[in-house]
Amino acid sequence: MLDNVILSSDSYHTSQYAFYPPNTSKVHFYFESRGGEFENITFFGLQYLLKELEGPVVTKYDVDEADYVLNHHLPNKVFKRELWDYIVSHHGGHLPLRIRAVPEGSVIPTKNVLFNMENTDPKCYWLNFETYLTQVWYPSTIATKSAAFKKIILKALEDTGTPEDVDFKLVDFGARGSTSMESARLGGAAHLINFKVTDNLPAIQFIRRHYHKDLPEAYSIPATQHSNITSWGEPGEVDAYRNVLRRFPSGLVACVSDSYDIEHACKNLWGGILKDEVLLRDGILVVRPDSGHPPDMVCDCLKWLGETFGYTTNKKGFRVLNPKVRLIQGDGIDLGMTDSIYALTHIKSWSADNLTLGSGGGLLQDVNRDTCRFAMKCSTATINGEEVDVFKAPKSDLGKSSKKGEQILRYENGRYITEKRTENNAGQNLLQPVFLNGKILRQQSFDEIVELAKIGAGKN
């Protein structure tokens, strides 16, 4: 939860009231991805952020606290408490803002407007939630990155296996490596827009609480960690594996198998001493390597398991392991490594059906705001009663140029178009009102977001 909305900001924003031209009455901002690593953005997370701004969110106590903190933090009594006192007294602590946005789950090419924000009270032209609302960059980046993983995996399955299984081929292993529980929830939920497998329980709770879905399609299986195996000691490794099979005699179960010697485990333990138990078991054993160079390790393990358990060749000409055994690679997985793994398995004639991936930091952490170059910029202001275009065009970096005028988003002839609002195009705006004067106007279910992302992936 936001602790104090006044202090949920960059320090310098508390002085913005002083720097606009005299008689400014409205300031309009828009938010976009200016490019970066991906061509399209899967928009997600604004609804969660807006819930924190709903209702009476500014109190006299908040103003008192901000007055105390900021007049020690900044010189010359920069903080003007009367501006916020006005919101408390005149608006009952509700924020006089209007926000319009594309529906979450929309897949929009970069350099297009995703949402905009403006004040609704002329006396509150200075009100700026750029710092807070820009944080939608993180869940949108993860949703976008997860979709990029899916594109790679789907291509591998189309070429070598069963593309219908793609939703179950990338597990979120990122909760423990996230910078906070909040980032684990946000990033994990964003991943579940594209896939149905996760070990990130905070993400499930996040969706239940903020996106109107009691139980999202988010699945996992029982699995070991190294301490489970190594606590039996190296001489007892086979007993540790046997215990796995007997404690879970049916269904999927995963077992990390590189605590000592992964080749020995695949060929002599799983594929030797325990082979009959694996084959008689009513389910699938998922072997997990956790060290070594991932593309080589995956192909080596497939080779060793194929030699001991056997394989068939599918209609596409690729080898598929005995249905009682599969592989999960969960170490070192990012987009580049994913591409490398499937390239090598393709060369060595192994179907992507044999493999599931797990990604932690490579999914939820290896990003920043510049991954997709997200930014919120002012594009119009009303000064002396006249609406004027506001923009920047730095000669030193024209990639940071901003748009002029109130931006709308249209869809025409198979493409999205961001342009300045006029009397002729205003009715075509895809940005929908989502927040007005402290009230959320529209909320989406997670099911709707997932469906929109599927439609968007098909368009792009």
Return the structure tokens found at 267: 């060929």
CA distance 374 to 141: 9
What stretches of 256-401 show up as alpha helix (H) in DSSP? Answer: 262-264, 275-280, 294-309, 335-347, 361-364
How much is the pLDDT for 399?
81
Residue 398 in tokens: 């024209």
Q: What is the pLDDT along the chain (460 residues), one digit of tens a residue?
A: 678 999 999 999 999 999 999 999 999 999 999 999 999 999 999 999 999 999 999 999 999 999 999 999 999 889 999 999 999 999 999 999 999 999 999 999 999 999 999 999 999 999 989 999 999 999 999 999 999 999 999 999 999 999 999 999 999 999 999 999 999 999 999 999 999 999 999 999 999 999 999 999 999 999 999 999 999 999 999 999 999 999 999 999 999 999 999 999 999 999 999 999 999 999 999 999 999 999 999 999 999 999 999 999 999 999 999 999 999 999 999 999 999 999 999 999 999 999 999 999 999 999 999 999 999 999 999 999 999 999 988 889 888 889 999 999 999 999 999 999 998 888 899 999 999 999 999 999 999 999 999 999 987 7
Give the strand pairing for 439-440 and 432-436.
Answer: antiparallel
Domain boundaries along the sequence of the chain: 5-140+372-459, 141-364
What pLDDT is stored for residue 1 in this prediction?
Answer: 66
Looking at the DSSP bridge assignments, the partners of residue 252 are 284
The CA-atom distances, in angstroms, between 90 and each of 87, 204, 303, 328, 436 are 5, 39, 72, 59, 16
**DSSP H/E element including 208:** helix 201-210
Predicted local distance difference test score (pLDDT) of residue 272 = 98
CA nearest to 41, candidates 99, 101, 117, 104: 104
pLDDT of residue 458: 83
Q: List, in sequence order, every residue forming a beta bridge with 32; answer none if it has no partner.
A: 113, 375
CATH superfamily of 141-364: Aldolase class I (3.20.20.70)
Nearest-angstrom CA–CA distance, 183 and 175 = 8
At the top level of CATH, the class of 5-140+372-459 is: alpha beta
Of the candidates 420, 374, 378, the one whose C-alpha atom is nearest the C-alpha of residue 29 is 378
Question: Of 23, 14, 55, nearest to 122 (Cα)?
Answer: 23
Query: What per-residue confidence (pLDDT) applies to 444?
Result: 97
* Res 145: pLDDT: 98
Q: How many helices (H) and strands (E) does the chain have?
A: 15, 18
Answer whether 115's CB lies under 8 Å from 100's CB: yes
Strands 355-359 and 170-172: what pairing?
Answer: parallel
End-to-end CA distance of the chain: 35
Q: What is the pTM of this model?
A: 0.96
